[in-house]
Structure formats: C-alpha cells, structure tokens
Amino acid sequence: MIVAGFGFSTRAQTDSLRDAFNAACAAVDRPPQMLATAADKAASLAPLADELGLPLVSVTAEDLVAQPTFTQSLRVAAERGTGSVAEAAALAAAGPGARLLAPRLHAADRLSSCALAEGAPL
C-alpha cells in the first residue's frame, strides 16, 4: 500500500495540495491508495481526498513525532516535533515497517508538500 502524506500551511488551497500530490506521484510513478496528514489539518485535505476518491487518515501528533524522516526542517521540528509532516504522516499511515519512496516534494507555491511511503498491503 502506498500512502501520500501531506504537510501544508494554513494558507494552502486545494490547488496547492493537488500540485504537491501530482509532483510526488510523478517522481515515483506509483499511485497512492490513501492520503494522510496531521489530525488538526485533515479537514483542509478532505476536499482533495474526495476529488481523488481516496480515503483520508488523520495522524496524531504522537505518531508524527515517532517517524524518522529524510527531511529535517528546523521550523517544522520546532512546531511539530518532526522534520517533515508530509513524510511522517505518510510513514505513520502506511504502518509499521513502512519506507519513504522519496523525500517530500513541494507545490510550486511552496505552501504544501507531499511525500509517498510504502507499507505492507492491507
């Protein structure tokens, strides 16, 4: 199972999220079966999940912190306790033993990022 994890600014709109999603999918050429983000941001990602017809997983702050990420943003680490919300959300939702397929990729407007992780099939 492949999960697309998202991190984004409160200013990010669905177009930005879609752009980050498309960039991540193009980089690994593998479609995700699920979307994931921090629990407090899930409502903002719901419109894209509906548009894509994919389930959306809300990841707790505790589960985000527990994930090893490729990216180490100092700002995100100070705010969220993880180097990348997108990478951590993808890993947490993909389950134990999941691995990142690539570091997060940003939308052109830099307001959102998306990373893909692969876990064991459900």
Q: What is the pLDDT of residues 48-94, one digit of tens each?
A: 999 999 999 999 999 999 898 988 887 887 888 888 999 999 999 99
Query: How is residue 59 written in tokens?
Result: 């990841």
How many whole angstroms separate alpha carbon 95 and alpha carbon 83?
Answer: 18
pLDDT of residue 73: 85
pLDDT of residue 122: 52
Share of the chain above pLDDT 70, in %: 98
Share of the chain above pLDDT 90, in %: 80
pLDDT of residue 13: 96
pLDDT of residue 121: 63
How many whole angstroms separate alpha carbon 95 and alpha carbon 78?
Answer: 25
Global model pTM greater than 0.85: yes
Report which of 9, 1, 2, 10 is spatially closest to residue 106, judged by C-alpha positions: 9
Map out the domains of the chain as residue ranges.
2-118
Q: Give the domain 2-118 fold.
A: Nucleotidyltransferase; domain 5 (3.30.420)
Write the CB contacts of 64 (distance below 8 Å, at least 6 apart in sequence): 38, 80, 81, 82, 85, 88, 89, 92
Name the pLDDT band for 96 (thresholds 50, 70, 90). Answer: very high
